[in-house]
């Protein structure tokens, strides 16, 4: 009896052990099935993420271009522009957006009236204004610089010779007869040359100090050792200048009453003739070379002096000769 009971207890234990083993096996099988289901669910998500990355890489350039266009587009056009089209957008909407892009680019580059919020035009307008302001400043600076250089150069009596050298010529002139083409000037006692008080420097002292004086022939010959006859009048030489010798002879003739700077030791008519020829070469004098310092010659000299920033003496002085390349 005891043996039978002992077998029964062992059988019960074996059954309990088998039940435990089956339970553990079932639990492991269930866990494995859940893990497999999880991996199957995550795989599609991963594939979807990879495909989206590939799609983004393929369309990256287009998105960047759209972003750059959006930044460069003025605010005025951002309000009125059509929304971005997707793959399902029709061809008509795409054409409309292309036209709007062209319109925006023309708007930025065309100088017209600026609508509200047009950033691109404002930048161009600002640049144009700064350029105009700079140009005005430069022109004002150049004018001031030119004016100051002229004043300083002439006030000091300084001058620069021309790069071209003029070679003196001996002209054949009818200087023994009184000319009929140019009216002579009359004598005015102690007359001052107009404007000469403003001509500064040693090159213009003869004009500042000149006063017509009247003396008879013996007086002139006694005081000056060089007196020449030209065109019905007599000129005396003094410190590098030729002057009219008023009173030297009756009925004398002078086309100009004032000093003439000496050039290469030439008499006054040859000096005038060489100046006329030099002005002809530069297009200032159009008349004939006659050696007379008449109104046409003096006007040509004045124009040349004005263009070169010299004192306008309308006569032959050292800075003018130097500018013509004659000294």
Note the pLDDT of residue 208.
Answer: 97
**φ and ψ of 261, to 5 deg:** -70, 135
Average pLDDT, integer, range 281-293: 95
Q: Which helix (H) or strand (E) holds 261?
A: strand 260-261
Which residue would you say has higher pLDDT here, 33 or 324? Answer: 324
Specify the higher pLDDT residue, 183 or 150: 183
* Higher pLDDT among residues 211 and 4, named by residue: 211
CA angle, residues 177, 179, 184, in degrees to nearest 5: 120
SS3 169: coil
Q: Is the pLDDT of residue 294 over 50?
A: yes
* pLDDT for the residue 230: 95
Which of 315, 317, 310, 311 minimizes the C-alpha distance to 299? 315
For residue 227, the SS3 value is strand
What are the distances in angstroms from CA 199 to CA 109, 154, 309, 313?
Answer: 55, 8, 13, 9
| For range 286-306, the mean pLDDT | 97
Q: How confident is the model at residue 137 (pLDDT cuts 50, 70, 90)?
A: low
Asked whether the predicted pLDDT for residue 125 surpasses 60, the reply is no
Are the C-beta atoms of residues 170 and 278 closer than 8 Å to each other? no
Higher local confidence (pLDDT), 22 or 230: 230
pLDDT for the residue 14: 81
Residue 172: per-residue pLDDT: 93
User: What does the pLDDT average to over 149-172?
Assistant: 61
User: pLDDT-based confidence at 101, cuts 50/70/90?
Assistant: low
Check residue 258 and report its DSSP letter: S
- Residue 38's pLDDT band (cuts 50, 70, 90): low
Beta strands 227-230 and 233-238, pairing class: antiparallel
Q: Which residues in 154-201 belong to E strands, given as ranges?
A: none
Over residues 224-259, the pLDDT tens digits come to 999 999 999 999 999 999 999 999 999 999 999 999
Q: Do the Cβ atoms of 255 and 231 come closer than 8 Å?
A: yes
| pLDDT, tens only, 55-75 | 444 444 444 444 444 444 444
- Confidence label for 11 from pLDDT (cuts 50, 70 and 90): confident
Please choose, from the candidates 121, 80, 81, the residue with its C-alpha nearest in 3D space to the C-alpha of residue 98: 81
**Helix, strand, or coil (residue 203):** helix
CA 199, 201, 206: angle at the middle one, nearest 5?
A: 70
pLDDT for 180: 87
Average pLDDT, the chain: 74
Q: Residue 206 — pLDDT band, cuts 50, 70, 90?
A: very high
DSSP 231-250: TTEEEEEETTEEEE-TTSST
Give the DSSP per-residue string, 58-104: HTHHHHHHHHHHHHHS-HHHHHHSPPPP-TT--HHHHHHHHHHHHHH
The pLDDT, as a whole number, for residue 170 is 92
Contacting residues for 94 by C-beta, under 8 A, at least 6 apart: 85
């Amino acid at each position: 009896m005891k043996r039978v009971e002992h077998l029964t207890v062992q059988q019960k234990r074996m059954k309990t052990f088998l039940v435990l083993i089956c339970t553990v096996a079932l639990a492991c099988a269930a866990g494995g099935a859940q893990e497999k289901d999880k991996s199957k669910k995550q795989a599609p998500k991963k594939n979807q993420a990879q495909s989206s990355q590939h799609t983004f890489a393929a369309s990256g350039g287009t998105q960047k271009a759209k972003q750059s266009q959006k930044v460069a587009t003025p605010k005025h056009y951002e309000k009125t522009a059509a929304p971005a089209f997707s793959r399902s957008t029709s061809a008509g909407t795409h054409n409309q957006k292309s036209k709007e892009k062209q319109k925006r680019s023309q708007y930025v580059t065309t100088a017209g009236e600026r609508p509200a919020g047009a950033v691109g035009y404002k930048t161009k307008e600002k640049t144009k204004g700064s350029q105009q302001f700079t140009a005005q400043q430069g022109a004002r600076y150049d004018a001031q610089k030119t004016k100051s250089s002229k004043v300083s150069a002439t006030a000091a009596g300084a001058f620069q010779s021309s790069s071209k050298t003029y070679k003196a010529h001996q002209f054949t002139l009818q200087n023994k007869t009184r000319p009929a083409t140019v009216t002579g000037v009359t004598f005015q006692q102690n007359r001052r040359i107009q404007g000469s008080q403003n001509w500064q420097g040693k090159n213009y002292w003869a004009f500042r100090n000149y006063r017509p004086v009247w003396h008879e022939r013996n007086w002139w010959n006694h005081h000056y050792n060089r007196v020449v006859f030209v065109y019905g009048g007599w000129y005396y030489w003094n410190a590098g200048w030729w002057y009219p010798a008023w009173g030297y002879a009756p009925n004398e003739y002078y086309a100009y009453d004032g000093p003439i700077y000496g050039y290469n030791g030439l008499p006054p008519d040859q000096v005038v003739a060489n100046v006329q020829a030099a002005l002809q070469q530069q297009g200032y004098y159009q008349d004939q070379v006659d050696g007379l310092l008449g109104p046409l010659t003096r006007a040509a000299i004045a124009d040349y002096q004005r263009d070169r920033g010299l004192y306008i003496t309308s006569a032959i002085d050292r800075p003018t000769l130097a500018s013509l390349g004659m000294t």
